Chain A
Amino acid sequence: MKARWILIVYAAISLLALMLMLSMENLYVVIALVAGILLLGHRELWSLIRHGRMPVIDERVQNNLTGAMRLTGVFFFIASIVLILLLRFNVFKNTPKELIVSGQLVIVGFVYVMGYYYYDRVRPCLGEKAVRWLRICLITAGLCLSTIALAIVLHNLVSVWFGFEDAFFFILGLLVAPAVLALSLLGCLVIYIKGLCASFSTVEQS
């Protein structure tokens, strides 16, 4: 019940924000909000379209929703800090701010959906070894994101303090860390898809 109320409150707040953004003609944010609402309420919407009723929210769904929301919250928090740092140092000089915020909202929506399906389908079908690898890949990705933000800050600070163009933090922040980030995200995706495929065959076999 708690999860359903959170979704209803979220939808109400999103609709208010949507009206506000529409009145301010911020189309990117409007699109992102609509995508976010659709992503977050996809189970409910799908069930309403397919069966004409709200889906069953049992204890397992509640646990999955709680897990996904926690994951999304943590991601949103980290993403916001990284984004603020990047914006502070004018990394996205020529990109409209509303486009950046919209992008973040849509990515957060995707993280929520992926988080939900992780707890619902992927996690039960992954072995301990795969879960350990997934954790390693996620931690590496998180560290890479922090490294990128930190390297940008340090690169700028070195330029300001010592008056020369630093190469170390530049290469670290713009080449090494993004490459490792891409590799770890790819690893996560492979394990995730493997688990998802295994879960589909488990459900189909039953």
Chain B
Amino acid sequence: MTITKTMENNTVILSVEGWLDTKSAPELGKETNELSEAEGLVLDFENLEYIASSGLREVLSAYRKFKSTDGTFSVINVSNEVMDVFKLAGFDQKLDIHAK
């Protein structure tokens, strides 16, 4: 898994590529935890092939972090396969998640 970080205004965009599984999820957690200045976070999942429940956990953790400070949070470019996992856990009902 690779994470690319870009900044647009005061919003951080993290592009996640590959597999977000038990092994790689902590990396995303570390990355989002370090974002203390940003007012918003966009997770770009354009090139994400797979998300495990440990990955969902990091997405939720980032969502909570930004919501607690009235920041913005969204997940974009989500593939059908990854969207199925979000839907199964019900995340699509409350989080701002957009399909590819």
Q: Do A and B come from one complex?
A: no
A→B interface (CB under 8 Å)? none
